[in-house]
A and B are shown apart, each in its own frame.
Chain A
Amino acid sequence: MALLEVKDLRTSFHTEDGIVGAVDGVSFSLEKGETLGIVGESGSGKSVTCLTIMGLNAKRNTVSSGEALWKGKNLLDMKPRELRDVRGNEISMIFQDPMTSLNPVQTIGNQLIEAVQLHRDVSQRVARARAVELLKAVGIPRAEGRIDDYPHQFSGGMRQRVMIAMALINDPDLLIADEPTTALDVTTQAQIINLMKRLQEDFGSAIIFITHDLGVVAETADDVLVMYAARVVEHADVDQLFGRPQHPYTWGLMGSLPRLETDLDRLIQIPGQPPSLLRPPAGCRFHPRCPHVMEVCKTTVPELVPTQRDPEHLQACHLDEETKDREAAKLLEATMAKAG
């Protein structure tokens, strides 16, 4: 049984302007110790997918359907009490902005101790020892002394480490990291990515890594989900995705990326803007921006189906496979340095 199995997850928000379908039929499964990367632009539904799994959407105006089976039990049906036992304990989350996700008027220590004592019946002393241990594990120097500091006394990278320590303090089976390095400098980002990889080896947790940075995904994920306008457009193993991308949107993302390894005079840009989810385009949602658009794309929604070559490589595009392979090869030729 998969650790987490998400089936046809849908979330919509009822707003004054109408219904926003923020997540529209997302399915995936995750095994123990595996890392799933979710990529997409802002508003593509990556964060909402995870917030829905965690039951963190505001109850008002939100309608969710589908299943998120956590060790066989549907998280969406759980009572708030049951959910509280899972959240922060078996599944924990790291948020994007380390500056705003810590409580500024509580010491780091108190916040970590609270996280332990919510889920474990342990004394203050034991909880504190555990907090120090975790702060050391994430590489905070002089952890015993710094545990009584307030968040403002830490730098951005340090705060993100504290967030990671808090997320890991109860040995979660799944860690959801929502853009954990986006607000950080490259050097700090490299530190945090290394840290997460090391901790994954030590603790064996599964990780869902949400990001808009294809470079970060390439370095961290085993499996990648590409989302566009609330839907999954491609889902593949990381080597497959970067080696043989099958969806025009994925091509667009890769072409848009300035790279260190290769010279490109002009970036291959995706024209236009992501659509509004209030009134998404009919058919394939990418069709208004797609350079390969056909008549069928404007009316029929492409299903997420495996490619003929690889049953694990899912993609949602009407183009025939031959054309896609040719386009993918062309793109890789233009953008990627040969591995070797």
Chain B
Amino acid sequence: MEAAQAPEARGDELLVVNDVKKYFPITRGIIFQKQIGSVQAVDGVSFSVKKGETLGIVGESGCGKSTLARCIVKLLDTTGGGISFDGRDITKLSRTAMRPIRREMTMIFQDPYASLNPRKRVGFIIGEPLEVHNLGSSSEIKMRVQELLEVVGLNPEHYNRFPHEFSGGQRQRIGVARALAVNPKLIVCDEPVSALDVSVQAQILNLLKDLQDDFGLTYIFIAHDLNVVRHISDRVLVMYLGKVVEIASRDLLYAEPKHPYTGALLSAVPIANPALGRKREPIVLEGDVPSPVNPPSACHFHPRCPRFVQGHCDVEEPPLYPFGNGHVAACHYPLERWPMSADEIRRASSPVQSPSSQSREELPA
């Protein structure tokens, strides 16, 4: 395992993630456990997030999005690589040293039903982070909590209610209020709206956008819904089986995807417009995401890829090739344009000029 290098933060970057890996061991035996393999949940992911920006992370279930999120906020220790937050290397910090930094990065969870303690009152749930970090007397905390309830659009008089007295959307607002309580710089949102109905989802998305404008927050927004990610993000990172396959600004990614996987994801999104939907020909991927225990060789996507070239894609792992304007994609045979029909996609073109050292150095901006 390589030593963690503290990546250099450049100017306005709040978070820099460099070659982060997280492997979960698979063990056998009850008393004498020996490791017989590992799940490579996150395998060498690098990116950075600027202050005030929203980075969307998309991918299918099991691609390592949530593990990555947990590594960033250090709910999980990484197996390798480095994370620097606000200019400080946090990769190897102890729990106590980490504690003051936890104030600056908080998380919103997916399931508004499971992420709130059913036996605590809302006031306590939202105020607990303040108490943990000793941010004020109990009366000050109460004032702050009531202020927060108002900010997220709940009635401050509901201070003494229990979570079960709220609907799904209202509970997610409580989750947002809790994440906001300590005035964080970064909020990692792990599928915050996927359990909600569309109308409630719209309310929460609008709320998150408003809060970003008001408090200058930076978001990492994880979701599997590409429509939602497009709506909220400035830049988007696409993951497949623990690796980054494409990073680009939102407009570039949705207008000119380069990686066939991104293309397939985009074409699989149902369009709420029957006339438009009938016209297009979706690229339907066959099969499921392979197991991260034993991922396919080289490009992990090659067994499902419509542009698969034998002897290249399954032998040589594609680096993140640059396409200008911070757009990078890990594919030897990137898409030339978009949209493309399924037939055109199958006709793979000439590969990107042989991978040189330059592509590695030019990390996503």
User: A residues engaging B (CB < 8 A)?
Assistant: 41-42, 155-158, 185-191, 193-194, 212-219, 238-239, 242-243, 252-261, 264, 266-271, 273-274, 336-337, 339
Neighbouring B residues of A212 by C-beta, 8 Å: 197-198
- Residue of chain A at shortest CB distance from B166: A273
Neighbouring A residues of B267 by C-beta, 8 Å: 190
B352 within 8 A of A: no
- Residue of chain A at shortest CB distance from B207: A269
- Determine whether the beta carbon of B206 is less than 8 Å from that of A219: no
Neighbouring A residues of B198 by C-beta, 8 Å: 41, 212-214, 253, 256-257
A–B complex contacts, Cβ < 8 Å, 12 sampled: A186-B268, A187-B264, A188-B288, A189-B270, A215-B272, A215-B277, A218-B277, A257-B272, A267-B205, A269-B202, A273-B200, A337-B276
- Determine whether the beta carbon of A215 is less than 8 Å from that of B199: no
- Determine whether the beta carbon of A269 is less than 8 Å from that of B272: no
- Determine whether the beta carbon of B277 is less than 8 Å from that of A269: no
- Determine whether the beta carbon of B272 is less than 8 Å from that of A190: no
Residue among A191, A212, A264, A267 having the largest count of chain B Cβ atoms under 10 Å: A267
- Determine whether the beta carbon of B288 is less than 8 Å from that of A155: yes
Neighbouring A residues of B169 by C-beta, 8 Å: 273
Q: Mark B332-354, 1 if CB is under 8 A from A, else 0.
A: 00000000000000000000000
Q: How large is the interface on B (under 10, 10 to 19, 20 to 34, 35 or more residues)?
A: 35 or more
Least distance between A185 CB and chain B CB atoms (Å): 4
Q: Give 3 closest A-B pairs by Cβ, nearest first.
A: A215-B270, A256-B202, A258-B231
- Determine whether the beta carbon of B224 is less than 8 Å from that of A339: no
Neighbouring A residues of B226 by C-beta, 8 Å: 186, 260
- Determine whether the beta carbon of A41 is less than 8 Å from that of B199: yes
B111 within 8 A of A: no
Chain B residues numbered 264-289 whose CB sits less than 8 Å from any CB in chain A: 264-277, 279, 282, 284-286, 288
Least distance between B2 CB and chain A CB atoms (Å): 33
CA distance A244 to B168 in the complex (A): 31
- Determine whether the beta carbon of A268 is less than 8 Å from that of B272: no
Neighbouring A residues of B271 by C-beta, 8 Å: 215, 218-219, 259-261
B74 within 8 A of A: no
- Determine whether the beta carbon of A260 is less than 8 Å from that of B285: no
Least distance between B342 CB and chain A CB atoms (Å): 12
Least distance between B173 CB and chain A CB atoms (Å): 11
User: B residues engaging A (CB < 8 A)?
Assistant: 60-61, 167-170, 197-203, 205-206, 209, 224-228, 230-232, 254, 264-277, 279, 282, 284-286, 288
| Residue from the list A213, A216, A219, A256 in contact with B199, Cβ < 8 A | A256
Neighbouring A residues of B206 by C-beta, 8 Å: 266-267, 269
- Determine whether the beta carbon of A213 is less than 8 Å from that of B270: yes
- Determine whether the beta carbon of B199 is less than 8 Å from that of A185: no
CA distance A166 to B273 in the complex (A): 31
Neighbouring A residues of B277 by C-beta, 8 Å: 215, 218-219
| Residue from the list A42, A157, A213, A238 in contact with B274, Cβ < 8 A | A238
A42 and B197 in contact (CB under 8 A), knowing A260-B230, A269-B203, A339-B275? yes
Residue among B230, B265, B269 having the largest count of chain A Cβ atoms under 10 Å: B269
CA distance A126 to B335 in the complex (A): 48
- Determine whether the beta carbon of B270 is less than 8 Å from that of A193: yes
Residue among B198, B230, B231, B269 having the largest count of chain A Cβ atoms under 10 Å: B198
Neighbouring B residues of A242 by C-beta, 8 Å: 272-275
- Residue of chain B at shortest CB distance from A337: B276
Neighbouring B residues of A214 by C-beta, 8 Å: 198, 272
- Determine whether the beta carbon of B199 is less than 8 Å from that of A253: yes
| Residue from the list A254, A260, A273 in contact with B269, Cβ < 8 A | A260
Neighbouring A residues of B60 by C-beta, 8 Å: 185-188
- Determine whether the beta carbon of A185 is less than 8 Å from that of B270: no
- Determine whether the beta carbon of B276 is less than 8 Å from that of A261: yes
- Determine whether the beta carbon of B284 is less than 8 Å from that of A190: yes
Neighbouring B residues of A218 by C-beta, 8 Å: 270-274, 277
- Residue of chain B at shortest CB distance from A194: B284
A336 and B268 in contact (CB under 8 A), knowing A185-B60, A185-B224? no
Neighbouring A residues of B167 by C-beta, 8 Å: 273
Least distance between B68 CB and chain A CB atoms (Å): 17
- Determine whether the beta carbon of A219 is less than 8 Å from that of B274: yes
- Determine whether the beta carbon of B274 is less than 8 Å from that of A255: no
- Residue of chain B at shortest CB distance from A239: B274
- Residue of chain B at shortest CB distance from A266: B206
Neighbouring B residues of A155 by C-beta, 8 Å: 288
- Determine whether the beta carbon of B274 is less than 8 Å from that of A187: no
- Determine whether the beta carbon of A189 is less than 8 Å from that of B268: yes
CA distance A270 to B197 in the complex (A): 11
Residue among A218, A256, A258, A269 having the largest count of chain B Cβ atoms under 10 Å: A258
CA distance A269 to B203 in the complex (A): 6
- Determine whether the beta carbon of B270 is less than 8 Å from that of A270: no
Neighbouring B residues of A336 by C-beta, 8 Å: 273
CA distance A216 to B201 in the complex (A): 17
Neighbouring B residues of A215 by C-beta, 8 Å: 227, 269-272, 277
- Residue of chain A at shortest CB distance from B288: A155
| Residue from the list A41, A187, A193 in contact with B265, Cβ < 8 A | A187
- Determine whether the beta carbon of A190 is less than 8 Å from that of B199: no
- Determine whether the beta carbon of B269 is less than 8 Å from that of A339: no
Known: A190-B285, A219-B271, A274-B199. 13 other contacts (CB 8 A): A186-B224, A188-B288, A191-B285, A218-B277, A219-B277, A242-B272, A242-B273, A253-B198, A260-B230, A260-B254, A260-B266, A270-B199, A271-B203
Least distance between A275 CB and chain B CB atoms (Å): 11
- Residue of chain B at shortest CB distance from A190: B268
- Determine whether the beta carbon of B275 is less than 8 Å from that of A239: yes
CA distance A213 to B196 in the complex (A): 11
